[in-house]
Amino acid sequence: MHETEETTTATKVLLATRVWSTLPAVKNGHVYVMNSRRNYDDPVTRERLLDELGKMMAPQ
């Protein structure tokens, strides 16, 4: 899904909710924002995503 005004607004609304702010991962700073311009359904992109997630969670 490409980022649009609608998705940007929906994200802001989600991030402002009480439910979001009480999630353990959010409280502990374990939430990572990723670019939404990718198709996560194909194996090649999923492999790249795994590489990126590793770099985000364990920066060198």
Residue pLDDT, tens place only, 8-56? 898 899 999 999 999 999 999 988 877 666 666 778 888 888 888 888 8
Domain range annotation of the chain: 5-57
CB 7 within 8 A of CB 1: yes
Residue 22 to residue 51: CA distance in whole angstroms: 28
- pLDDT attached to residue 6: 85
Take residue 29 and report the two structure tokens written for it. Answer: 């700073």
